[in-house]
Amino acid sequence: NEPSPTVNYGTSTALRVDGSPFVRSYLRFNVQGLAGTITKATLRVYATSSSSIGYDVRSVSDNSWDERTLNYTNAPAFGPVVASSGSFTGPIWKELDVTVLINGDGTYSLALTTPHTTAIGFASREAGANAPQLVITTAP
């Protein structure tokens, strides 16, 4: 959250993204036990609000961040957009193909951003049943 650059939101039940001021959300998934070849990886997030522009998913190569200490000042850099949602009316589960980012067992960090100046809300891991999910499909 750019206006509060040293505040940590690691235990919040909500994720947010905004283009002005900048608010970004980071997700990390520990993928283990895959058998076969990955045919598809889908990021599922539960949007609690609507957006006329949507949000973007970006890669984050640095997995050393911790959700209880992460803030705007120390957040790792993210890569280019790998998937965009387009507009949607929430609340709704949104699914984006992130196969290009997942290549096997390991730890994967993703950033959610938006160019729009209206904030978008999502359920966080702490929200329970509507927590973000990384769904991976494999083939023998």
Alpha helices in 82-133 (DSSP H): none
Distance CA 84, CA 72 (A): 22
In this prediction, residue 55 carries a pLDDT of 98
Q: What is the mean pLDDT of the segment spanning 26-38?
A: 96
Check pLDDT > 90 for residue 65.
yes
* Mean pLDDT value across the chain: 96
Q: What is the mean pLDDT of the segment spanning 49-74?
A: 97
Residues 46 and 120: beta-carbon distance below 8 Å: no
Q: Which long-range contacts (CB under 8 A, 24 or more apart) does 76-84 make?
A: 76/26, 76/109, 78/24, 78/111, 78/113, 81/56, 81/57, 81/113, 82/57, 82/58, 83/43, 83/56, 83/57, 84/54, 84/55, 84/56, 84/57
Here the tokens at position 81 are 């957009």
Distance CA 110, CA 58 (A): 6
